[in-house]
Amino acid sequence: MFDVITFDLWQTLLIDSLGHGIRRGELRLSGVKDELSKAGKTYSESELTEAYSECITQCRSLRSDNRDMHFDRQVKIFLDLLEPDLSETLEKGVFDSVTEIYSDAFFLSPPVLHDNCLEVLSKIKDMGLKIALISNTGMTPGVAFRRFLRETGALDFFEETVFSDEELLSKPSPEIFHRTLLRVEGRASMSVHVGDSIQHDVLGAHLAGMKAIWIEGFSERGDLSDPKMVPDVTVADLAQVPDALVDMLG
């Protein structure tokens, strides 16, 4: 018997494309450029792009060590790469506007909710299982994801939504899984995590003592010589997850 089913977000419940991601970056930079210009700070597109790319590199480096940073700190890093201590010299209203632009680019070029997302969550809820979300956030804060999930009708299915920028931890850290299970009163040995990434979802779940369902098609299979990288169950699509859980329950 299982107590809790946890889900990844990107390419699991939300389906994104490279084009949308590029467009979000463009919207961030153009919006920030205009806002800073109003404050008397002018930067070229190449300066903005270079700072943005370096900020992404620094964020990814931190996440590769299973850590993460608050979203405000990410924005400060980006601004300070444009000009040393820029984040400290800007008026608070300008900084807040830049942060909002950086975050809300997500809604101007959003991913789409998986066609079967609500149906799958409803079926699992009807099985009497608790549902939680565990997601690495990237360039968008957890608060924006919650808003998106609320607007699409998905948020009410979750007992808990856990995001790396708020926990300062990122998958595959087992601790972010353990924190989630503690909040929903679940046991790792009686829980299953569902996600598209072998490295983040399958490995993370196994390190935390959970079972893992892998949705293939978005990431490489990884090192299959390592048992922790091998999914307990593999499915081709999110729609197959409820039946997979039934089979796992015997």
Query: What is the pLDDT tens value at each position of the chain, 250 positions in all?
Result: 789 999 999 999 999 999 999 999 999 999 999 999 999 999 999 999 999 999 999 999 999 999 999 999 999 999 999 999 999 999 999 999 999 999 999 999 999 999 999 999 999 999 999 999 999 999 999 999 999 999 999 999 999 999 999 999 999 999 999 999 999 999 999 999 999 999 999 999 999 999 999 999 998 777 778 999 999 999 999 999 999 999 998 7
In one-letter notation, the amino acid at residue 203 is: L
Distance CA 22, CA 93 (A): 27
9: burial class by Cβ within 10 Å (0-12, 13-18, 19+)?
buried
226: burial class by Cβ within 10 Å (0-12, 13-18, 19+)?
exposed
Distance CA 143, CA 120 (A): 23
Report yes or no: 177 and 134 within 8 Å, Cβ to Cβ.
Answer: yes
Residue 74: name the closest of 22, 136, 134 by CA. Answer: 136
Residue 48: name the closest of 57, 36, 40 by CA. Answer: 36
Q: Omega of the bond prior to 172 within 30 degrees of 0, cis?
A: yes
Residues 6 or more apart in contact with residue 126 via CB below 8 angstroms: none
| Rg of the Cα atoms in the chain | 19
Q: What are the C-alpha distances in Å from 238 to residues 29, 122, 140, 213, 216?
A: 34, 13, 23, 10, 10
